[in-house]
């Protein structure tokens, strides 16, 4: 392969000029033999049909032309809406259990707000690097390759696809949990176990992928995705609120029959009962690892690792509009996440599960709608995250099916959603969003930064690198611990 040859030829030198990097990229794209048809506008395709010259384009070329066809076309609020939809995916149903339970009220609330602030800052840095060297960079790996050289291009590419693979594995686990929860509402025989639900979810995801082979073909499905998100977020919030105030309602009834002294006495009892309810579970040693894992979950909640790809089609001024979209995401767009996460933890405390809809009580048909909405939204969201991965090869049934089969197998073997979120944050979110963004900004702007600014960016690079290593160790330990506590293909 040309990529291997390029890597071998560059091993004798630690640095590659921007022009050499661009030449290597063009050579790699030209030699890339795997091809897929592109959905060009109808007039172009019709003209090609009349001449008998239907285009057959490489995947990277298809991606490039697809971006150029929509060059500078999206307003900032549309891009912000895409970011908000990603933040409020079905993963929000797990944050009460994976973030708030290990951290508690003070650390959990402060952590979510602080993670939002530093994520906003890091993404803004990355957005400002959209044009480097008088060239627009529409993919993260292209930007890294332009700044560092071919080896960093390959490493960034690997980190991005590890990120997408882990996210998709979590989506399939979520879909399986939603399917099992729906089944349990109507039958309690326990026949449909979580691994079976995960397998069914993976199969349905594959069917959807075969029917929607291109991102542009999603169209109306993105609207359905937003609708499904609103349904399960509103239901989870309302039912959690309802469950949380039941104790208060009982207390109010008692107050009508007892004296003021009894009222105060009951208030004291309920206060300390809530303190115990919201206590952080586990031994001291276990808490250390779960806390570190929860920190990785904090940054996982807000970041995609694909900001340059999202920024590629925004209208000019590109940087200014992207910053508007980011402000939209991290202010208004994060409110549903906060509402569900805080309400779930307030209602159920340390007993909150990794899938909030397992805790809520209410009419069966309402909970069924919420679970099915979460399931369907997950299928669509997984498809969006899966598409960049299949640019590695032809858009064939075998490739798409094989990729989803591996995702489904990993999800069924290790169905520990919180652990996968922690591992994703450690292996990809920390390096891509915080370490690499700060270092690239430092490299590009080094002649314009003061000594204090340089020290600040180096502090971020070193600090987040240390957090990434610690979070990876904690996540792997938690996966090993859960695997030994339960077993492979566990029915959680």
Local confidence pLDDT in tens for the 492 residues of the chain: 333 333 333 333 333 344 444 444 444 344 333 333 333 333 333 343 344 443 333 344 344 434 444 445 778 888 888 788 788 888 999 999 989 999 999 999 999 999 999 999 999 999 998 888 777 787 888 888 888 988 888 988 888 888 888 888 888 888 999 999 999 999 888 788 888 999 999 888 888 877 765 555 556 777 788 899 999 999 999 999 988 886 555 555 555 554 555 555 555 555 555 444 777 887 777 888 888 888 888 988 898 777 888 888 788 888 899 999 999 999 998 999 999 999 999 988 888 888 899 999 889 999 999 999 999 998 888 776 554 444 444 445 566 667 778 878 888 887 777 777 788 888 888 888 899 999 999 999 888 889 999 999 999 999 999 999 998 888 888 878 777 766 676 666
Q: What tokens appear for 123 in the block?
A: 């993404």
Whole-angstrom distance, CA of residue 176 vs CA of residue 253: 41
Looking up tokens 């996540």 gives 475
Record the pTM.
0.76
Give the H/E segment covering residue 415.
none
Whole-angstrom distance, CA of residue 435 vs CA of residue 299: 13
**Domain residue ranges of the chain, discontinuous segments joined by +:** 1-6+17-69, 74-130+167-412
The per-residue pLDDT for 357 is 92
Q: For 166, how many CA atoms within 13 A lie in the half-sphere containing its CB?
A: 25
The per-residue pLDDT for 167 is 83
Give yes or no for a contact between 457 and 141, defined as CB atoms under 8 angstroms apart: no
Maximum distance among all alpha carbons in the chain?
A: 92
Q: What tokens appear for 447 in the block?
A: 């002649």
**Which CB contacts under 8 angstroms, 24+ apart, belong to 272-275?**
274/349
Say if residue 317 is preceded by a cis peptide, omega within 30 of 0.
Answer: yes
- 471 DSSP β-pair partners: none
List alpha helices for 218-334, DSSP H.
Answer: 220-255, 260-277, 284-300, 307-311, 318-330
Give yes or no for a contact between 194 and 176, defined as CB atoms under 8 angstroms apart: yes
Whole-angstrom distance, CA of residue 134 vs CA of residue 144: 15
Terminal C-alpha separation, the chain? 44
Question: What distances in angstroms separate CA 143 from CA 140, 319, 462, one per listed residue?
Answer: 5, 15, 21
The per-residue pLDDT for 113 is 95
> How many residues would you count in the chain?
492
The per-residue pLDDT for 475 is 84
- 58 DSSP β-pair partners: 35
Distance of CA 435 to the CA centre of its chain: 18
The per-residue pLDDT for 41 is 37
Summarised one tens digit per residue, pLDDT across range 77-108 is 888 887 887 888 889 999 999 899 999 999 99
Whole-angstrom distance, CA of residue 298 vs CA of residue 91: 12
Give yes or no for a contact between 34 and 58, defined as CB atoms under 8 angstroms apart: yes
Whole-angstrom distance, CA of residue 51 vs CA of residue 235: 55
Whole-angstrom distance, CA of residue 305 vs CA of residue 433: 6
Whole-angstrom distance, CA of residue 402 vs CA of residue 392: 13
Question: What distances in angstroms separate CA 484 from CA 168, 358, 476, 477, 492, one per listed residue?
Answer: 24, 24, 12, 11, 13
Whole-angstrom distance, CA of residue 64 vs CA of residue 32: 14
């Amino acid at each position: 392969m040309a990529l291997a040859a390029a890597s071998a030829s560059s091993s004798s030198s630690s640095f590659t000029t921007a022009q050499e990097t661009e030449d290597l990229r063009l050579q790699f794209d030209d030699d890339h033999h795997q091809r897929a048809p592109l959905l060009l506008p109808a007039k172009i395709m019709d003209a090609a049909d009349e001449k008998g010259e239907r285009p057959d384009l490489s995947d990277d070329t298809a991606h490039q032309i697809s971006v150029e066809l929509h060059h500078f076309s999206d307003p900032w609020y549309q891009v912000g809406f895409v970011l908000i939809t990603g933040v409020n995916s079905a993963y929000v149903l797990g944050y009460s259990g994976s973030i708030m339970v290990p951290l508690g009220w003070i650390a959990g609330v402060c952590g979510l707000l602080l993670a939002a602030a530093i994520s906003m800052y890091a993404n803004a840095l990355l957005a400002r690097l959209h044009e480097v060297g008088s060239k627009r960079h529409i993919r993260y790996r292209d930007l890294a390759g332009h700044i560092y050289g071919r080896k960093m291009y390959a490493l960034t590419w690997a980190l991005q696809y590890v990120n997408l693979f882990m996210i998709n594995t979590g989506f399939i686990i979520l879909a399986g949990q939603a399917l099992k929860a729906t089944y349990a509402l109507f039958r309690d025989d326990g026949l449909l176990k979580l691994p079976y639900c995960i397998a069914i979810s993976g199969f349905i995801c594959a069917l959807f992928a075969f029917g929607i082979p291109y991102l542009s073909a999603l169209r109306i499905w993105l609207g359905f995705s937003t609708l499904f998100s609103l349904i399960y977020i509103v239901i989870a919030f309302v039912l959690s609120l309802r469950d949380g105030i039941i104790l208060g309602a009982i207390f109010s009834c008692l107050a009508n029959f007892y004296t003021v002294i009894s009222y105060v006495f009951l208030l004291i009892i309920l206060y300390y009962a809530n303190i115990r309810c919201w206590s952080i579970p586990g031994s001291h040693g276990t808490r250390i690892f779960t806390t570190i894992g929860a920190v990785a979950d904090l940054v996982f909640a807000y970041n995609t690792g694909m900001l340059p790809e999202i920024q590629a089609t925004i209208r000019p001024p590109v940087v200014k509009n992207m910053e508007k979209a980011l402000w939209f995401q991290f202010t208004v767009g994060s409110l549903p996440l906060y509402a569900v996460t805080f309400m779930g933890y307030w209602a159920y405390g340390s007993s909150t599960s990794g899938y909030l809809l397992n805790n809520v009580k209410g009419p069966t048909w309402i909970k069924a709608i919420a679970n099915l909405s979460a399931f369907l939204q997950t299928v669509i969201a997984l498809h969006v995250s899966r598409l960049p991965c299949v640019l590695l090869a032809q858009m064939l049934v075998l490739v798409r099916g094989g990729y989803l089969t591996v995702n489904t197998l990993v999800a069924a073997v290790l169905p520990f959603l919180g652990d996968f979120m922690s591992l994703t944050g450690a292996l990809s979110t920390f390096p891509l969003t915080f370490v690499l963004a700060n270092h690239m900004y430092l490299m590009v702007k080094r002649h314009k930064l003061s000594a204090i600014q340089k020290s600040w960016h180096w502090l971020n690079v070193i600090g987040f690198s240390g957090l990434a290593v610690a979070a990876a160790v904690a996540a792997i330990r938690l996966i090993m611990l859960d695997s030994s506590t339960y077993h492979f293909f566990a029915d959680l």
